[in-house]
């Protein structure tokens, strides 16, 4: 069981454009779950289907099947991904967190990337859903791709131990993805787990930034305590 004691291992599941079938992508994710214990497993944005707008109905139907499969498989792991779902007759890009055979948190992408046409196909989620949630005492927050750019969401996630950012970030703005993820970790004195993958036009990179802004191999919660004791923001203002 993942807890606030000791280090937390993070596994990244990449969206391999060579694997086109939805069920093959699901099998790959399920295999990652099987091979990882007491880990946080992060898949990139719309991992199962990509932004397959031409087959969006089928993508949403497959999501329901995949969610049931994942709930059956996930035990002590925390699995985080986004997927296309149909809710109240509208399509959404929904971030889902599964732990101990159940969905423990959901939030729809609230800031849609209009340059990619997302607003033409998805209904935007509610911004007040972007807030910390807890699993076994671990305080987690989530921003979906483009949402990373909005500083008001950083404020909403203050106090988190970990912020997860599943993304499909454009390769021409790769520096932005790195700098914003790094800055969020420093600003909120937390770990930021940022993961983007896709085709050649998409950033293919996975990063764990520690509260001091350095790249880290895993999540060491002692680093959060140390940084927040060293620089107590409330006392310095």
- 57-114: per-residue pLDDT in tens? 999 999 999 999 999 999 999 999 999 999 999 999 999 999 999 999 999 999 999 9
Query: Which residue has tokens 């979906």?
Result: 144
Residue 237 predicted with pLDDT over 60: no
Residue 4 predicted with pLDDT over 60: yes
- 164-173: per-residue pLDDT in tens? 999 999 999 9
What pLDDT score does 38 carry? 92
Element (H, E) at 92: strand 90-99
Query: Which tokens sit at 171?
Result: 């390769």
pTM for the full model?
A: 0.94
The secondary structure of residue 9, as a DSSP letter, is E
Domain ranges of the chain: 7-230
Q: Are 176 and 182 in contact (CB under 8 A)?
A: no
What pLDDT score does 5 carry? 63
CA distance 30 to 75: 12
Helices (H), 110-173: 151-156
CATH architecture of the domain with residue range 7-230: 4-Layer Sandwich (3.60)
């Amino acid at each position: 069981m993942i807890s606030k004691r000791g280090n937390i291992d993070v596994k990244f599941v990449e969206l391999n454009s060579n694997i086109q079938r939805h069920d093959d992508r699901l099998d790959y994710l399920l295999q990652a779950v099987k091979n990882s214990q007491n880990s946080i497993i992060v898949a990139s944005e719309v991992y199962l289907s990509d932004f397959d707008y031409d087959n969006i109905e089928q993508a949403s139907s497959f999501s329901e099947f995949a969610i049931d499969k994942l709930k059956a498989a996930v035990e002590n792991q925390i699995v985080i991904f986004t997927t296309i779902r149909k809710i109240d007759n509208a399509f959404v890009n929904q971030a889902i967190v599964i732990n101990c055979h159940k969905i423990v948190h959901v939030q729809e992408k609230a800031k849609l990337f209009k340059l990619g046409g997302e607003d033409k196909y998805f209904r935007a989620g509610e911004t007040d859903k972007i807030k910390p949630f807890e699993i076994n005492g671990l305080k987690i927050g989530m921003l979906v791709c483009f949402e990373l750019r909005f500083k008001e969401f950083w404020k909403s996630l203050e106090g988190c131990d970990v912020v997860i950012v599943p993304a499909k970030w454009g390769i021409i703005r790769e520096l932005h993805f790195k700098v914003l993820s790094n800055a969020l970790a420093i600003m909120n004195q937390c770990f930021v787990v940022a993961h983007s993958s896709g085709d050649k036009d998409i950033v293919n990179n996975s990063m764990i930034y520690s509260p001091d802004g350095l790249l880290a191999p895993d999540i060491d919660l002692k680093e959060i305590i140390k940084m927040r004791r060293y620089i107590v923001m409330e006392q310095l203002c």
